[in-house]
């Protein structure tokens, strides 16, 4: 299908006729003429820079095709300005990719065996790995990155479409390999630095999973929150651990890593960055959380279509240029001293 991107320019096709029939004639050196010479004036020209011979063909011919050809050149230029385009058939737009950075706590407390999977008792980190694996498999069009933290934070996988590499790193990690304490502020700072230059400014998401509180590191939580707000990055926080274990810690039975979940801070991080806080008490809870995050961050391109568009303005523009050249060289041969 052919269409014009700027059809208003087509009105200029009538401009020469308006000038010809509406503007009053004036008396000049060669008799009646329009204020803007176009058709008749071209036939009355008797000299061109003093080099046109009075017996030239133009002076003898009652009708000259020159005005018509000049109008064709003009019309072609108008058509080029109107930008003709070829528009193809619509087809569904592929989902835009989101940039999702997983920030996972791998401090010693993640060894606590208070989760179950397929009837077997497992530790928190194993549960997180299993559910994160399912989450990765569903992220067909998204880029995924991975940051692991304990006492220190490490970027294990920058944002990438290579889900297999992220999955391999995910299953190779173990609790305690980044230190025994929990530096949530530093982990968020590294995450924000890693996602800062992502190409989709409105599609940057951080998912923070931890079972502890911010008890180490140089960057405080208020500082990390301020950085996230400045960058416009949403942070979804997930508190990991069962109620029974946290109650046992309250009564004096220590966790494997000595940590305790700080739900108030996790809620504050999520609220102040337009995210949301989730509590994962078991493996089913973790799976449900990832599904909820999918609902909160839908791809807004679903149901949209796109058409292939090819610009064709160069065709009338080239035709006008070629015709103008022909007229120019023809005029030089026709009018001679």
* Any domain includes 266: yes
Residues 57 and 143 in one domain: no
Q: Give CA angle at 29 (23, 35), nearest 5°.
A: 15
What tens-digit pLDDT sequence spans the chain (337 residues)? 888 989 999 999 988 888 877 776 655 544 554 454 544 554 554 444 444 444 444 444 455 678 888 889 999 999 999 999 988 777 665 555 688 899 999 888 888 887 877 778 888 888 888 888 888 887 777 889 999 999 999 999 888 888 888 989 988 888 888 888 889 999 999 999 998 877 666 678 899 998 888 888 889 999 999 999 988 899 999 888 766 544 344 434 344 444 577 889 999 999 999 888 988 877 777 778 877 777 766 555 555 566 778 899 999 999 999 998 888 887 666 554 4
Show the 3-state SS of 53-115.
CCCCHHHHCCCCCHHHHHHHHHHHHHHHHCCEEEEEEEEECCCCCCEEEEEEECCHHHHCCCE
Residue 135 belongs to what domain range? 99-296
Residues 214 and 167 in one domain: yes
Residues 40 and 125 in one domain: no
Residues 169 and 246 in one domain: yes
Return the pLDDT at 303. 53
Return the pLDDT at 320. 92
Return the pLDDT at 155. 92
Please give the radius of gyration of the chain, using alpha carbons only, rounded to the nearest integer.
Answer: 37
Residues 189 and 287 in one domain: yes
Return the pLDDT at 34. 47
Residues 80 and 120 in one domain: no
* Any domain includes 94: no
Return the pLDDT at 25. 61
State the Cα–Cα distance between residues 209 and 134, nearest whole angstrom.
Answer: 15
* Any domain includes 219: yes
Structure token digits, residue 219? 């960057």
* Any domain includes 303: no
Residues 80 and 129 in one domain: no
Return the pLDDT at 89. 78
Q: Are 311 and 91 in contact (CB under 8 A)?
A: no
Number of domains in the chain: 2
Return the pLDDT at 224. 92
Residues 195 and 75 in one domain: no
* Any domain includes 58: yes
Residues 263 and 122 in one domain: yes
Q: Are 283 and 117 in contact (CB under 8 A)?
A: yes
Return the pLDDT at 51. 43
Structure token digits, residue 58? 């133009």
State the Cα–Cα distance between residues 104 and 101, nearest whole angstrom.
Answer: 10
Structure token digits, residue 276? 């949301």
């Amino acid at each position: 299908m052919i269409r014009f991107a700027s059809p208003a320019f087509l009105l200029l096709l009538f401009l020469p006729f308006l000038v010809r029939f509406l503007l009053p004639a004036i008396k000049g050196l060669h008799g009646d003429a329009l204020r803007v010479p176009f058709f008749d004036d071209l036939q009355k020209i008797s000299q061109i820079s003093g080099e046109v011979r009075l017996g030239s063909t133009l002076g003898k011919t009652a009708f000259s095709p020159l005005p018509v050809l000049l109008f064709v050149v003009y019309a072609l230029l108008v058509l080029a300005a109107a930008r003709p385009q070829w528009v193809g058939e619509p087809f569904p737009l592929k989902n835009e990719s989101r940039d999702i950075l997983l920030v996972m706590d791998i401090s010693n407390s993640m060894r606590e065996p208070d989760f179950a999977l397929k009837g077997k008792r497992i530790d928190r980190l194993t549960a997180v790995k299993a559910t994160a694996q399912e989450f990765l498999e569903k992220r067909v069009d998204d880029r995924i990155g991975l940051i692991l933290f304990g006492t220190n934070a490490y970027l294990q996988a920058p944002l990438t479409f290579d889900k297999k590499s992220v999955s391999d790193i995910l299953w190779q990690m173990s609790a305690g390999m980044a230190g025994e304490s929990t530096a949530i502020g530093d982990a968020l700072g590294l995450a924000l630095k890693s996602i800062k230059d992502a190409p989709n400014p409105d599609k940057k998401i951080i998912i923070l999973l931890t079972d502890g509180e911010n008890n180490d590191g140089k960057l405080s939580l208020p500082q990390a929150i301020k950085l996230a707000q400045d960058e416009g990055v949403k942070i979804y926080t997930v508190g990991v651990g069962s109620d029974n274990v946290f109650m046992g810690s309250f009564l004096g039975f220590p966790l494997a890593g000595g940590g305790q979940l700080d739900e108030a801070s996790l809620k504050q991080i999520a609220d102040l960055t337009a995210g949301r806080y989730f509590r994962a008490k078991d493996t089913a809870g973790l799976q449900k959380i990832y599904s909820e995050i999918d609902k909160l961050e839908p791809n807004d391109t679903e149901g949209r279509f796109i058409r292939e568009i090819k610009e064709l303005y160069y065709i009338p523009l080239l035709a006008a240029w070629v015709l103008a050249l022909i007229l120019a060289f023809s005029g030089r041969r026709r009018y001679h001293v």
